Every structure is written in structure tokens, then in C-alpha cells.
Structure 1
Amino acid sequence: MTLVVLFAVYALLSAGGLVLFKLGGQGAGLRVDGGGLSLQVGWKLIAGVLCYLCSFLLWLYIVSRTQLTFALPLSVGIVNVLVFLGSAKFLGEQITPLKIAGLVVIVIGLFLLSAGQKGS
């Protein structure tokens, strides 16, 4: 698989995991019943953990095959964009002009980073 595909899969798993954490964390709880601990988690939280675990394993592979100074900002930027979009779509979070401006700055940074990598 090419690094582009690996980055895309990593970003989708990571962003999906974060959105699922938020969705699943709303119903999660830790209780003490009769001297014992009880952890209540739903499928969304478990799916989020699995997505994040898979993204971490993929991240280890990506980092071993590329420069960290390229991989880290690129992956963080892409994940930020996907979390922004996922939060608006699945969590109903508000999109404001200031948030859109920030997102545009991130995307411009991603293009600059990619162009700089091609030149080196």
C-alpha cells in the first residue's frame, strides 16, 4: 500500500475513533456496587477504542517508513479536518465562521507541507 492510502486509512480510523469516543462516552459510567466496581460501556465506546487501537498500530508502521517531521503535522492536520467534519455531522456541533477560517488555515498548511515534501 502507498503511504497516501496508509495516511488516509490512519486518519479515518483516528478521527472515527475520536467521534465514537464522544458518542460512546456520553453513556459510559463507573459505579461502585456492594464493594465491587462496575464499568458500563456501550458498543460505540468499544468501537472507538478498536478504531483508535488500529490507527495506533498503523501509525507505528507509517512512522517507520517516513520522516516524522512530515508524518506528524500531516496526520494531525488531516485528523483535525476529519474530526471537525465528523463532529458537525454526527455530533451536531456548531460550525462558525471562525472555525471555518481555522480549518482553511489547516488545509493551507497541509498543502504547503505536501509541496515541501515533494521538493525534498
Structure 2
Amino acid sequence: MIYLLALISIALGSTGQFVLKLAAGELRPASGIWNLIYSMISLKMVFAVSCFVFSMLMWIFVLRKLELSIAYPMVSLGYILVMLLSFFFLQEQVSAAKVGGTLLIVAGVIVLNMK
């Protein structure tokens, strides 16, 4: 159950990153700090921040049950989710180097979780 909670937390964090990218693309050039802050207020920005907050709250429960040296490397699984979201929804290129690097990260997570 705790691993499922960890995966949900990681998925929420990845979703937050994706939506934050969408929100950042809609920012208007601002002449001052207050104009910039005002331009950041949008539904996408609120949704992204909400994803981060819920992800953090879930992560606190994960950390209560798992060792940090086991739990924290799992966060890197978010790289896979972000890469997939970027590929499918933002039409970003996925090179062999990106896939290879991501697979190395996943392999590291698997090795760290072996007993």
C-alpha cells in the first residue's frame, strides 16, 4: 500500500510539472514584479500548485513508513512520467540519450530497492 501511495505522489508531482510548463507558456511579458505575479494567476497555475501540495502531503506519509534511502530514489520515476507527458502532449523529442539515461535511473531505483 505504501508503494502505491508513493507512486500516486510521484504521479501528482509529475502532473504538476507538466501543467506548470503549460502555465509558464501562457505568461505574458511583465514590466514589474507585481505584473509578473498577477500574470501567474490562472487555473493551470492553481492546478499545478495543488498537485505539488497534495504530492507533498502524500510523500510525508510515505516517509513515515519507508527509509529515506529507499523512498527518495523512487522520486526519479517521475522523470519517466514527465518524459512521456512531454512526448505525447508537448511533442517534445525523445532521443536515444534521453531514453538511455532514464533507463539507467530506473535501473538504479530497482537496484536500491532490492533486498
Normalising by structure 1, report the TM-score. Answer: 0.83
Q: Note the residue ranges of structure 2 that are not aligned, 5 or more in a row.
A: none
Structure-2 separation of matches of 1:30 and 1:92: 24
Instruction: Structure 1: give runs of 5+ residues left out of the alignment.
Output: none
Structure of greater Rg: 1
Higher helix share: 2
Identity of aligned residues (%): 25
The residue aligned with 2:86 is: 87
After superposition, the C-alpha distances for 1:55-84 in whole angstroms (9 at most, x for unaligned) are 011111111221111111112x21111111
CA contact (8 A) 1:19 1:86 kept: yes
Q: Secondary structure at the match of 1:37?
A: helix
Deviating above 2 A after TM superposition, structure 1's stretches of 4 or more consecutive aligned residues are: 28-33
Does 1 or 2 have the higher relative contact order (CA < 8 Å, sep 6+)? 2
CA distance in 2, matches of 1:109, 1:44: 33
RMSD: 1.9
**Following superposition of structure 1 onto structure 2, how do residues 47-86 of structure 1 map, counting pairs within 5 Å?**
47-75=47-75, 77-86=76-85
Q: Scaled by the length of structure 2, what TM-score is found?
A: 0.86
Distance apart, 1:30 and its partner CA: 7.0
- Count the aligned residue pairs: 112
